[in-house]
Amino acid sequence: MFNCSQILIKMDLTYLVNWDNYYSKIIDIILFYGPRLVGAVFVWIIGSLLITALVKAFDRLLTKREIDISLKPFLKGVVRILLKITLAISVLGMLGIEMTSFIAILGSAGLAIGLALSGTLQNFAGGIIILIFKPFKFGDFIEAQGHSGIVSEIQIFNTILKTVDNKTIIIPNGGLATSSMVNYSAEEKRRVDWKFGISYGDKIEVAKEVLFKLLNEDERILKTPDLPFVAVSELADSSINIVVRAWVNTPDYWDVYFDMNEKVYRTFSKEGLHIPYPQMDVHVHQQ
């Protein structure tokens, strides 16, 4: 039988053997993960500095392209978050952590959220596209989605229009960014088109002379990109139709259009020209 001293010696030896095993395992772990940990910390520091530099460069690019000031913080935040996530995945991968399952879960969650918010995300993406590419801006007169008006506000989800009779129209950006649109304010100059009718028997030369005179007297009529144009366009049922075309600065479009209509009405009668009513000749034959 063992005495007490033998038992104590045996326990001490067992303790020393176990400690040696633990010590060996700790050394192995340090040797295995130590370089990876140092490399991961180094990559994190360098990556963070690089992300800061990239975000600053991206900010300068946004400023150079004159991106809407309300959109800049959001875009910079999105870029920073995506770069941080990429850096974190790379660092965790360097430490030997399996990221395949995490990425799969993240992708599935993103897909589920995207399907649940498909309409909202479409409007959100449309707002970003509009603010970046600027097919229109504040104050432009546009026609889209069956509505027309002056752009009073461009939000991230909707665009607000004010009609000429002061109605407010809210158009979702998703459809606005993916469908056709007319921007009447995009160009500095616009062509004004009129069509005036004179009676059969009136002198065409006199009508053209009057129209050219009225165009030349209006200082808002431009000589470029083309000179004013006047020509007979149609021999209609009740009138001889004369087309008139002239270029003006975009802000003067409607003023010139309405003034010309009034001047033609007043001047034609003085020059012996008649603006005919629609009429029909009826012939009665007696048998």
By percentage, how much of the chain surpasses pLDDT 90? 42
User: What does the DSSP assignment read for 51-99?
Assistant: HHHHHHHHHHHHHHTT--TTTHHHHHHHHHHHHHHHHHHHHHHHTT---
103's CB contacts (< 8 A; 6+ apart) are: 89
Q: What angle do CA 56, 60, 66 make, to 5 degrees?
A: 140
**66 vs 111, residue with greater confidence:** 66
pLDDT band at 181 (very low <50, low <70, confident <90, very high): very high
Give dist(CA 23, CA 46) in Å, integer. 33
CA-CA-CA-CA dihedral for 83, 87, 88, 92, to nearest 10: 160
Answer yes or no: are the C-beta atoms of 153 and 139 closer than 8 Å: no
- According to the model, what pLDDT value does residue 215 have? 96
Residue 6: what are its φ and ψ, rounded to 5°? -65, -40
Range with the poorest average pLDDT among 3-7, 219-223, 251-255: 3-7
**Strands (E) located in 158-228:** 158-162, 168-172, 181-183, 189-198
pLDDT band at 190 (very low <50, low <70, confident <90, very high): very high
pLDDT band at 2 (very low <50, low <70, confident <90, very high): very low
**Closest C-alpha among 210, 186, 213 to residue 273:** 210
Please tell me whether the peptide bond between 225 and the residue prior to it is cis, using omega within 30 degrees of 0: yes
Give 84-133 pLDDT, tens digit per residue. 888 888 887 777 766 666 666 667 666 666 655 566 788 888 888 888 88
- According to the model, what pLDDT value does residue 117 have? 52
Give dist(CA 136, CA 151) in Å, integer. 8
- According to the model, what pLDDT value does residue 1 have? 46
**63 vs 140, residue with greater confidence:** 140
- According to the model, what pLDDT value does residue 6 have? 53
Residue with tokens 């918010």: 117
Taken in order of first residue, the domains within the chain and their CATH numbers are 4-112 (1.10.287.1260), 135-183 (2.30.30.60), 189-270 (3.30.70.100)
Give dist(CA 59, CA 126) in Å, integer. 21
Mean pLDDT score of the chain: 83
